[in-house]
Structure formats: structure tokens, C-alpha cells
A and B are shown apart, each in its own frame.
Chain A
């Protein structure tokens, strides 16, 4: 661009004033020099014409009507964001059980029908009675659920408790059997010794139909000789 002054105005000055001139915001005396320069300068004249044409073209563009749903979409999007923020704040206040219940609601919605609800009520009633009879308290279950770390501890404690009960039961049983065996031994030693033959005779005599009753306590050969005899009492218990 030519920077030499033409008609009292340099091309750079003309260019600087161009935008204001197109807005009619140039002082009158400057305007005269500007117009004069634009008429006579081979570079600035076309530049002015082009700038003017471009401006008129763009300003001639009609304002567009936004889509009808645009405002609705904007309001819907912003209100959804607001709702989401409120929802998040509300959910932050809920306990984890409530959140679980809320998340399960869509899946178990159909199960809340009256016939299913009655079945569940019955099942719950049965379960609660069973638990009560078994000595399980609801508070224990609640504690276990709220403190999952206690679950293992409770299981170990429960197992140890049952094991101690069983061990104690068998220890007591053994003591009873021992005592019974001792008593029988004492009785046996206090009683007079009888001949085996007499015993056999008595057993035969005691048969109600007069037939000889076979002795079931021992095995005999065909000729009547004794093969083996079982012990009737073993530590007080009949085997």
C-alpha cells in the first residue's frame, strides 16, 4: 500500500478510517479528505468499494428464526441439570439400604403385586418364627449386616459354641456309661457264682412251651460244643 499522502491523506490513514467512515462516524473535514482520497487513489478506491459492498451484503442477511423446540430444549436441559443436582444431594443423605432399595425398585416392582406380596408375607412370617425359635435375634442380624466384618467373627463364635456343647454332651454320656458299668460289675461280683449247666437247665425250664430254648448268646457246633460266646455287657452297654 502506498503510504504517500494523496489529497491530504495517507493510504494507511485512509485504511484506519475506513470502518468509521462506513459507519458515518468521521468528522466532516476529515470526511472530505477521506472521500477525495478514495476517489483518486487506485488502491484505496476499490478497497472502499469492496468494504462497502461486503458490509451491505452481510447486513442484508435476514435474521433467522430459531427452531421452535430450541427454547423448550434449553429449558428442559437446564431444568434436568437442576433436578439431577437436587437428586444427587438427596441421594447423598440416604443410607446404603435406602439406596439399595431404590435401585431394586424397578426390578422388583412386579413382585409387589398383592398375590406375591401375600406369599412374601407368609414366607417372612415363617422365617421370623423359625429364627425366633432358633434363638436368632433380629438385632444380631442387623448388626451383622451393618458391620460385615462381624460376620466371620460371629460365625467362628457360633461354631465354637456348638462344638463345646457337643463335646460336653459326649463327655457326660461317657461318665454315665462308666458309672453304669461299675455298678454292674459290683452287682456281678456281689452275686453267688452259678454253674453253667444249672443255668442252662433253668433256661430250658423257663421256656413257656416246654421246648428247649436255644441259647442265642453263643454259637455251637452240631455236637453241642461251644465255638464262641458274645460278651453281653461291655462297659455297661449292650452291644
Chain B
């Protein structure tokens, strides 16, 4: 239903309806800004990139066909391509911490379902503070771009594996593997940061 509405908006936009274009920008600017910010970890870069994305969308909207796939997937693919270009241009040298560094021993007595309903302070509670949010964002910025984009698309953009596979142009199995590795790496980085913070 949503895709049909978007398709109609795109058609109106291609016919020269300025209001339709404004509606598309209004609907998707938050999503694209968040995607860019989570990937670049810079509000300024995110703003510039979001603007570039919409300019690109405006220029190439004629190449989008409703029957080929969801508009969101097309838009995310375009954004991802620009993010990759930006990453290459800025030559960010992201240091990814080794996954092999000290596996943590967790309490494994509970099943996954039990753990999700654990009455102890949940990660959500821990994320309440801005400081924690900042730490997670910093950790996200430190993991490798391949893993980061997969995690962002799944956990923040709420895309399904098939769509992510389409955007990243890799098989679904690879997408799942990257998401798992990205999440694990993130947890390790956060754990290490917390240990360092408690030692100081």
C-alpha cells in the first residue's frame, strides 16, 4: 500500500508536480539523514550527503521503475552508493578491533527467550543516557564499513535480509553473516570501552 502511494508520488513527480517532490522529500529525509549520520558519524557530512542523495534522486528519478522493486530499496541503494563514494574519498582509515580479542564469558544458563525477558536492567535501560548513545555510535563508527552498513540497514533502517542483499549486492547468507559479525564486534568494543572506563 505504502509502495503504491510512493509509486504514485514518483509518477506525479516525473510529470512535473512540485508538491509530489516535496512530499517525497518530507517522507524520506529523516530516514536518509539517519542512515548517513550513523554511517559517517558526522552531522555535517550527514547533512551534505542527504542533500546530495536527494539531488541525485531528483536527477535520476526517471530511471526508477515501480515494477523493479520498492522505492525504499532503490533510494537506500542510491544512498549506500554515495556513502561508499564518500568513504573512499575521505579515505577514512577505520581501525577495526580484532574479533579474536578475549571472548567474554556470559551467563549461559538462560535461554534466548528468557534473556530477552530478563528482569535485570536491560540494555534499553543502559542506553537511556546520552553518554551510552554516544558510546554506541562511536563503536559503530569503528567497525568495518561492510559490517557497519549491514547492521545499520537491518537494526536501524529495519530492512529485511532480501532487501539488504539487493542493496549490498551480496547473497542473503553473506548479509546474515555480516550482521552477526557486526553485532558481535560492536558488543566487544562496547564491553572493552566499559572495562577501560571502569579501570580509569
The residues of A with any CB-CB pair to B shorter than 8 Å are 15-16, 18-22, 34-35, 38-39, 43, 45-67, 70-71, 73-75, 77-79, 81
- With A50-B187, A61-B136 given, can you name 17 additional A-B contacts, CB distance below 8 Å? A39-B109, A45-B108, A57-B127, A57-B136, A57-B190, A58-B136, A58-B186, A60-B123, A60-B133, A61-B137, A61-B140, A62-B133, A63-B34, A66-B29, A66-B33, A70-B29, A75-B21
User: How long is the Cα–Cα vector from A36 to B179 in the complex, in angstroms?
Assistant: 22
- Find the B residue at minimum CB distance from A39: B108
Which stretch, B4-12, B46-54, B69-77, B87-95, touches the partner chain A?
B46-54
Task: Check if B42 is an interface residue, CB within 8 A of chain A.
Answer: no
Which of A18, A34, A50, A62 is within 8 Å of B188, CB to CB?
A50
User: How long is the Cα–Cα vector from A74 to B28 in the complex, in angstroms?
Assistant: 12
Which of B54, B104, B161 is within 8 Å of A46, CB to CB?
B104
The 3 closest A-B pairs by CB, nearest first: A54-B183, A60-B127, A49-B106
Q: Tell me the smallest distance from the CB of B75 to a CB of chain A, in Å.
A: 13
Task: Check if B43 is an interface residue, CB within 8 A of chain A.
Answer: yes
- Given A58-B151, A61-B133, A66-B33, the answer on whether A51 and B22 have CB atoms closer than 8 Å is no
- Find the B residue at minimum CB distance from A47: B184
Tally of contact residues, B, Cβ under 8 A: 59
B43 near A46 with CB under 8 A, answer no
Which of A35, A49, A60, A67 is within 8 Å of B47, CB to CB?
A67
- Find the A residue at minimum CB distance from B139: A57
30 A-B residue pairings within 8 Å (CB atoms): A16-B176, A19-B161, A34-B112, A43-B103, A46-B108, A47-B180, A49-B187, A50-B104, A52-B116, A53-B187, A53-B190, A54-B183, A54-B184, A54-B185, A56-B124, A58-B136, A58-B156, A58-B186, A60-B124, A61-B127, A61-B133, A61-B156, A62-B133, A66-B47, A67-B33, A70-B29, A71-B29, A74-B51, A78-B21, A81-B59
Task: Check if B155 is an interface residue, CB within 8 A of chain A.
Answer: yes
Task: Specify the main secondary structure of chain A where it touches its partner.
Answer: helix
Task: Check if B37 is an interface residue, CB within 8 A of chain A.
Answer: yes
Which residues in A have their C-beta under 8 angstroms from that of B180? 15, 18-19, 47, 51
B136 near A60 with CB under 8 A, answer yes
Which of A15, A22, A46, A73 is within 8 Å of B51, CB to CB?
A73
Interface residues of B in 56-99 (CB under 8 A from A): 58-59
Which of A19, A43, A56, A64 is within 8 Å of B179, CB to CB?
A19
Task: Check if B30 is an interface residue, CB within 8 A of chain A.
Answer: yes
User: How long is the Cα–Cα vector from A12 to B187 in the complex, in angstroms?
Assistant: 21
- Given A58-B136, A75-B22, the answer on whether A64 and B183 have CB atoms closer than 8 Å is no
Which residues in B have their C-beta under 8 angstroms from that of A50? 104, 106, 183-184, 187-188
B108 near A71 with CB under 8 A, answer no
Q: Tell me the smallest distance from the CB of B32 to a CB of chain A, in Å.
A: 9
User: How long is the Cα–Cα vector from A48 to B152 in the complex, in angstroms?
Assistant: 19
B29 near A74 with CB under 8 A, answer yes
Task: Check if B173 is an interface residue, CB within 8 A of chain A.
Answer: yes
B103 near A46 with CB under 8 A, answer yes
Which residues in B have their C-beta under 8 angstroms from that of A39? 108-109, 111
Interface residues of B in 128-166 (CB under 8 A from A): 133, 136-137, 139-140, 151-152, 155-156, 161
- Given A38-B108, A49-B108, the answer on whether A58 and B51 have CB atoms closer than 8 Å is no
User: How long is the Cα–Cα vector from A51 to B136 in the complex, in angstroms?
Assistant: 14
- Find the B residue at minimum CB distance from A62: B133
